[in-house]
């Protein structure tokens, strides 16, 4: 919890980066899932570096390990072997509580199916990360949420429920929510996969604008055209990085 109790202190409380880029480093990362006596090797020894400020697409067949890599980089999952370092922090050595605090300050996650709470307004959804962290007063959290909704072009929709918004508008709310703590890294797991092509293009232009403003953007996509617009495309196959 932020002892100063203000939203403006969110940037100040983030742990300092220990050195120059890369922002993300995976070294010898393996991930094995176990179900009874059955083992599935999702990652088989991944080495990867992503500098700060890049826009990176991760592509590959279903089951290749793309989402597993995103889950490790966001601290949602842990490697079976190897190390994961993001923004100067070794995630594989942190406790669940430390990971939760780190994640809330460093990473914004955008999901394919939006995952908005249906009984909360757009502004309430956009303020959720700050509510969970008890940062700032309620008024300060809502001011931050409304600023982020304006940033994504929904300044006039803050009082609307998700059911009153189009799919593209709901995804914009999800992006505003991801921006709540002004994170260094925006991660998307098929962030345009549930949208029509026109709306997907609009969402991608918004991610490009955030990248132009200095945020690192990392996303999984099956859309070759959207992947080609990234600065770099990383191809995963059978749990290994085979290109990029």
Q: Which string of b and e fits 210-223 if b means at least 16 CB within 10 Å?
A: bbeeebbbbbbbeb
Is 36 inside a domain boundary? no
User: Listing from the earlier edge strand, what are the strands of the sheet with 81-86?
Assistant: 38-50, 24-35, 81-86, 89-90
Neighbours of 69 (CB within 10 A): 28
Is 128 inside a domain boundary? yes
Is 205 within 8 Å of 55 (Cβ atoms)? no
Is 37 inside a domain boundary? no
* Average pLDDT of the residues of the chain: 87
Is 62 inside a domain boundary? yes
Cα 206 from Cα 71, distance rounded (Å): 23
Residue in the structure block whose two tokens are 């990867």: 48
Is 47 inside a domain boundary? no
Beta partners for residue 25, in sequence order: 49, 85
CATH number at residue 13: 3.40.50.300
Cα 212 from Cα 55, distance rounded (Å): 9
Listed range (2-6, 108-112, 148-152, 235-239) with the worst mean pLDDT: 2-6
Which pLDDT tens digit goes with each residue over 121-173?
A: 999 999 998 888 778 888 899 999 999 999 899 999 999 999 999 999 999 99
Q: Quick check: helix, strand or coil at residue 15?
A: coil
Which pLDDT tens digit goes with each residue over 35-88?
A: 888 999 999 999 999 999 999 999 999 889 999 999 999 999 999 999 999 999
Is 25 inside a domain boundary? no
Beta partners for residue 186, in sequence order: 108, 217
Is 175 inside a domain boundary? yes
What's the pLDDT score for residue 132? 80
What's the pLDDT score for residue 6? 37
Angle between helices 122-133 and 138-151 (to 10 degrees): 130
Q: Provide the strand spans (E) within 4-54.
A: 24-35, 38-50
Cα 64 from Cα 148, distance rounded (Å): 34
Question: Total structural domains in the chain?
Answer: 1
Tell me: pLDDT of 11 over 70: no
Is 229 inside a domain boundary? yes
Tell me: pLDDT of 3 over 60: no
Q: Could you tell me the residue range of the domain that residue 103 belongs to?
A: 7-17+52-79+90-243
Neighbours of 164 (CB within 10 A): 12
């Amino acid at each position: 919890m932020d002892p100063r109790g203000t939203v403006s202190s969110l940037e100040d409380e983030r742990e300092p980066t220990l050195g120059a880029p890369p922002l993300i480093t995976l070294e010898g990362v393996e991930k094995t899932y176990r179900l009874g006596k059955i083992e599935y090797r999702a990652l088989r020894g991944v080495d990867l570096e992503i500098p700060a400020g890049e826009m990176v697409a991760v592509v590959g067949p279903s089951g290749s390990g793309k989402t597993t890599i995103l889950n490790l980089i966001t601290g949602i999952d842990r490697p079976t072997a190897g190390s994961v370092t993001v923004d100067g922090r070794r995630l594989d050595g942190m406790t669940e509580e430390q990971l939760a605090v780190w994640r809330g300050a460093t990473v914004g996650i955008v999901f394919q199916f939006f995952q908005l709470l249906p009984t909360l307004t757009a502004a309430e959804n956009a303020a959720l990360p700050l509510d969970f962290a008890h940062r700032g007063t309620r008024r300060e959290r809502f001011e931050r949420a409304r600023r982020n909704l304006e940033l994504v072009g929904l300044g006039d929709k803050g009082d609307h429920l998700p059911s009153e918004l189009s799919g593209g508008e709901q995804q914009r709310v999800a992006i505003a929510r991801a921006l709540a703590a002004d994170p260094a890294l925006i991660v998307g797991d098929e962030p345009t996969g549930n949208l029509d092509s026109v709306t997907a293009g609009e969402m991608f232009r918004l991610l490009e604008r955030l990248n132009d403003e200095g945020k690192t953007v990392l996303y999984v996509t099956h859309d070759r055209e959207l992947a080609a617009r990234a600065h770099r495309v990383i191809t995963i196959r059978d749990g290994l990085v085979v290109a990029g």
